[in-house]
Structure 1
């Protein structure tokens, strides 16, 4: 009996401590996680690898998370998108510009992040049935 591979997550977060904290939590929850510290570094990965979820901070240098999500939709339309942000106004903009993306506001508990990621994958599974 073969088991399904772990869902793959691309995490784009410019703050090193937060990136490593989130990577560890998601890895411990059974996900395969690749990380980048800016949106521009995520693009080449999206072009050559398949990810199930893009988990992106919204406010980052060079390319914000919303622009990254738009590029992701062009490059890898099946990749789901979820945003994390500490800015309420930015959260509202993300909701307007990426209405299908979940927005999780900082600060949040790691348990809440893992639950939201699980919901994204549950919704994806239900949509394919």
Structure 2
């Protein structure tokens, strides 16, 4: 089973997204620091990264993840795509999924990169 690291600071959204991804092994993180720790421990196949996070934001976490393992696919999930989308792509993300999104859109994007 493919592993996805899901990084989202809103607890309700974390649970909703986890449910949407029920066909995968989901590792959950609620901030950038936790995301980096869990990434190193689990080496997921894909990372879904919120941008606006407490502490280490999603842009910096993405930069560190892709520096460590350049082959890692990071997809940004954010309501701030127009403001910070280019920034996270420059940090190494392969795509930006704008919140709110439908389950079908999330699953199609995940399948595209797995």
Per the normalisation by structure 2, the TM-score is: 0.91
Moved over 4 A (4+): none
Matched, 1:93 2:87: yes
Larger RCO, structure (CA 8 Å, separation 6 or more): 2
1:23 to 18, 34, 59: 18
Structure 1 partner of 2:100: 107
**Uncovered stretches (5+) of structure 1, i.e. residues with no partner:** 1-5, 122-129
Q: Which residue of 2 aligns with 1:124?
A: none
CA RMSD of aligned residues (A): 1.4
Higher alpha-carbon Rg: 1
How much has 1:94 moved relative to structure 2? 2.1
Between Structure 1 and Structure 2, how many residues are aligned? 113
Equivalences for residues 33-52 of structure 1 within 5 A: 33-52=26-45
2:4·2:44 contact (CA, 8 Å) conserved in 1? yes
